[in-house]
Structure 1
Amino acid sequence: MKTRIIVNPMANKGGCGKRWPQIRAGLEKHLGPIDDDDITMTRAPNHATKLAREAVDAGCRRLISVGGDGTFSEMMNGVISDDRLIAPDLVLAQLPAGTSNELCRSFGQLSLGEACKAIAMGHTRDVDVFRADAKGYGGGQVTRYGFVLAIVGAAATISWRAQRVPLLKRLGPISYVLMTAFTSLTYNPRNYRIRIDDEAEQSLPMWSLMLCSFDGAGEGLMLAPGADPGDRKLDLILVGDIGHWETLTRIVPKLGDGSYLAHPKVSRRHASRISIDSDTMVRADVDGESIGQLPMSVTMLPFHLKVAAVNRQ
């Protein structure tokens, strides 16, 4: 299978680039010698999207992302057009070299050796893909394909704040801890208009809304325990009208094990389509990237990605 390796040297605060020789050696141990022409390095945000499209056009049918979930998401967006895969026989893979490696964590292959073994063995898992359409910060529509989660409200504000300040971004996961505490004490719930699947529109006050395909997200977060990334459904979690102190003491500390879901103002259900709007400015985020603001619609697409995974059955 013709393979292209897309490396984000800036992933994990530049740690991916420093570890690349070690990562390459581990990959060659399982796949054999790798030609330099089969390796491409990203040079800017969203460059992996362009590199992935070029790789498929060149006949590659296995693409390996070396970085975190953001790099994998960028690569994935390069192989989808008009809600379809540009080549139906594609296999995608992730080598865990970023701050967050949810795909590898969920499949039990967080070590370099396990991830390389998954690629070499040729086994795959089906992973859902969703489409998110939102209002971009420039005013036009933004479309983004996602595989981990789409979030709005306080959760999206935390992500945006943690990434927009260079000093904070260099702190990695610590920046999210700091911004989570700050946002918990300053962010007020907004009123939303929500339509879930074919149900009637609801008006609800909420602190945050999360659509999860995997059970975890980010560093050490367990947002939707037991979520199945291949069941063609999103786990919709609504965090309701909760005050600042209650959020800081009863929601945030329990995000690591998912026990926040037991709070009476938090609800969870499945959905395949959802539209969200508000009369106030509310940020929207897909797979860790702030894509814009409401209104946003999210739709599960009718196909699966084939992703390299160790067969544990």
Structure 2
Amino acid sequence: MAETRPQPVMTMLVSSISGGGRALRVAPDIAERLRHGGWHVHVRVVTEAEAPASVARALSAGKHPDAGTGAPIVGALGGDGFVAAVAQGIAGSESALVPLPGGRGNDLCRAIGVGSNARVRADALAPLGTPSSGTLHDRVRALDGIWVSDLTSDSEPNRRLVLGVVSLGLDAWANKLANESRLTAGPIAYGWGAVTAPAHFRGAAFRARVDGVECDLPGWVLSVSNSGFIGGGVNVVPDSDPFDGTLELFRADQVPLRRVIPAVVHVVLRRNANHPLVHVSSVRELDILGPEGLPAMADGDLVGHLPLHVEVAPGIVRVLV
């Protein structure tokens, strides 16, 4: 007689601010859909005053058993930055992360193939709560990340885990302007940011040490990609695979503004960056040295200012896809 496993237990962390409160609004429905499939779901709202990584770390050290993964299952309902912070909290442990799209862009969920609709995601996960189901363990994969740290500090706590794309230049300004806008749809907000960003940023003489080799990389954009997706579905690096143990360095040439605007429109409207001004190469680690003080954005948030150290974190978190 086949042995059945216990019903899975998920502690679902919910961002109180992601998507302008969208995650908080849909949380009861998401929990109910999972429970209908047989899951035991504990909901924990994470307020703006709390550190999601610390909350997740405490959960990961707890004793919520699940026979399908052999460790706690931690759901993260929120935007990309919230999901990445929860991932940092359980990084390197046997806990399983369940990303649930609840932000404006939801680019990580798009990149790993689970989509941008939280209700659809919950309905797809619900059947895994049936005790007779043996597929939960098979759906757990080792997801890569990017460690980003301040080169001016030797302190370990300054490291931040990124799951998507670290952006500098025009990309970063597009992200910043999208965050400051009142637009609630990720693609529309990022589109607005992208077409207005050239008025705020005119290119930079980026300097970097790429896999140990120092080089000058002048351009409008310098980004390091794990997932390939930014801006609510813009696939800037189609070759990026968040499960392959490597990163992609993305650069857009330093050319006159009259040539950049059409390229930006091409990237935003066609939802990818296959353009002659764009260059992509594989990389495992790099020091982005300058211009000093330039802001870097990732997973929708500010992650630091140059100079920064960036390196791949292979299989850093176990994720339920």
Q: Under TM normalisation by the shorter chain, which class is it?
A: 0.7 to 0.9
Of residues 282, 290, 307, the one that matches 1:278 is: 290
Of residues 136, 154, 159, the one that matches 1:143 is: 159
TM-score by length of 2: 0.82
Match of 2:141 in 1: 125
Pairing 1:208-247 to 2, within 5 Å after superposition: 208-247=221-260
CA distance in 2, matches of 1:246, 1:306: 42
Distance change (3 Å), C-alpha of 1:118 and 1:132 = same
Q: Given that residues 284 and 290 in structure 1 are in contact (C-alpha distance below 8 angstroms), is that contact kept between their aligned partners in structure 2?
A: yes
SS in 2 for 1:98: coil
Of residues 44, 49, 66, the one that matches 1:40 is: 44
Match of 2:193 in 1: 179
CA distance in 2, matches of 1:46, 1:197: 36
Whether 2:106 is the aligned partner of 1:101: answer yes
Q: Deviations over 1:34-70 (max 9, x none)?
A: 3xxx221011066322210121222342100112212
CA distance in 2, matches of 1:257, 1:125: 30
Q: Given that residues 118 and 308 in structure 1 are in contact (C-alpha distance below 8 angstroms), is that contact kept between their aligned partners in structure 2?
A: no
- Over the aligned positions, Cα root-mean-square deviation in angstroms equals 2.5
Q: CA deviation at 1:257?
A: 4.0
CA distance in 1, matches of 2:10, 2:225: 30
Q: CA deviation at 1:298?
A: 0.5
Of residues 277, 301, 321, the one that matches 1:289 is: 301
- How many residues get paired? 292
Pairing 1:191-210 to 2, within 5 Å after superposition: 191-198=205-212, 200-210=213-223
Identity %: 20
Unpaired stretches in structure 1, ≥5 consecutive residues: none
Q: CA deviation at 1:100?
A: 2.0
SS in 1 for 2:60: helix
SS in 2 for 1:261: coil
SS in 1 for 2:54: helix
Q: CA deviation at 1:135?
A: 6.4
CA distance in 1, matches of 2:29, 2:53: 25
Q: Deviations over 1:264-287 (max 9, x none)?
A: x32111000011122453111222
Q: Deviations over 1:85-125 (max 9, x none)?
A: 2x2x1110112222122233233322434445347241112
Task: Please identify runs of 4+ aligned residues in structure 1 that moved more than 6 A.
Answer: none
Q: Given that residues 57 and 90 in structure 2 are in contact (C-alpha distance below 8 angstroms), is that contact kept between their aligned partners in structure 1?
A: yes
SS in 1 for 2:273: helix
Match of 2:86 in 1: 75
Greater Cα offset, 103-112 or 221-230 = 103-112
SS in 1 for 2:245: coil
Amino acid aligned to 1:59: K
Distance change (3 Å), C-alpha of 1:51 and 1:195 = same
CA distance in 2, matches of 1:175, 1:219: 9
Q: Deviations over 1:155-182 (max 9, x none)?
A: 112222332x3xx155443332222222
Match of 2:168 in 1: 152
